[in-house]
Amino acid sequence: MSKKMWGGRFAAGTDRLVEAFTASIQVDRRLYAEDIRGSMAHARMLGRVGVLTEAEVEAIVTGLAQVRQEIVEDRLPFVDALEDIHMHVESRLTEIIGDVGKKLHTGRSRNDQVATDLRLYTRGCLDDLVRELQHLQNVFIDLAEREVETILPGLTHMQVAQPISFGHHCMAYVEMFHRDTQRLLDARRRVNVLPLGAAALAGTTFPIDRWDVARQLSFEAVAENSLDAVSDRDFVMEVLSDLAILAVHLSRLSEELILWMSAPFGFIDLPDGFCTGSSIMPQKKNPDVAEIIRGKSGRVIGDLVAILVLMKGQPLAYNRDNQEDKETLFDALDQMRASVEIMGRMLPGLQTRPDVMRAQAERGFATATDLADYLVRKGLPFRDAHAVVGRAVRLAQERNIGLEALPLAELQALSPLIDQEVYAVLVLEGSLAARDHLGGTAPRQVQAAIQRARERLQREAL
């Protein structure tokens, strides 16, 4: 038991099955850089308050740098007996510099240590993910600008509703991913709180300076309550909630790409480098990237459910259950970072088929609402206008023609308010132009929205 850093109280060794079952090193080993960075800050603080000498601090910091290099170069073996990344680092440090290494843990516990590591790691991952999301927004803005004149049949209930600019459709995802970005940045504020100094749950009798450590590690605040500091995983739940919403947005986008690329739609083609073929059907070009991203949304939503269930029954303060918090968080961060990055690489190569999109928009009486609005502007109450246009649609449908193909005399028989100028709104371009208002789908307004979004991204870019 002398090999266990906590083994003094025990008369018997740990069962090997228990060692394997309780070890977390295969999961938390990725926290090595944060663990070492936090330990360096802790050691320097202990030196400044007089708990360690300058020579001891120098030896610890130098030794920790060597441990970090050994891990980077894959020269430090990870074993279940040492349980977690904290004990691996401290054990190897003591081997390198001797008993001075045993002083590093003065004034702290693995409880506040792991909470600090996890917050540091999460903060870095959020910064990376936000940058990728901002890049994805720029990709969509570029795509919107390229396709601002492309007419797309806008759908509700998966039925043709009104014609819109494909650029306008792209800008909807800019707004979704902007909200995702803002949620993650807001969560980052609550992640960026230092728990170190809470020790196991009740603080420490040593004269530590928590704000010194906070400044070294760029934390904006220190945790006020020591019990809450070591047991709080709200930041994990919040980040996972935000990632689950992001996953839903990516899944909705993926679903549209999959539908649009299918033969019944035929609106787009995705670049070959982001699609796969069939082992039996030589003609197939499958949107596998979009399908996999759509599938990962369920996985990330499951990660959120797992952490909520993990935390719901825990009393204060720290419990070993929390060892399970990392797998869900790491998994969701990994999946969303990869999904956002690959989507940002795939979409610039997307090719539209404007003729197919236009043909579909023309088949669905997409200008009917604009005809009703035209009649309202002529003085007809909207409900009456709705009924008039409904009858016009039925008439056109019976003849298998579009509204714009109905003779003026027949339209005037439905309403005398209809005159020759109505045909300007019965064609797709005229329908778009009739909705040339703030936030509308006309090209001029889409261009204005693109410019506003570019300016917003420039202001908010990390």
Query: 229: cis peptide before it, omega within 30°?
Result: no
Which tokens sit at 418? 């209809």
Q: In DSSP terms, which residues pair with 268 in a beta bridge?
A: 352
> ∠ CA(42), CA(47), CA(53), 5° rounding?
135
Buried b (16+ CB within 10 A) or exposed e, 120-147: bbbbebbeebbebbbbbbbbbbebbbeb
Active site residues: 157, 278
CA distance 101 to 256: 57
CA 146 to chain centroid: 25
Which tokens sit at 242? 């935000």
Are the CB atoms for 259 and 287 separated by under 8 Å? no
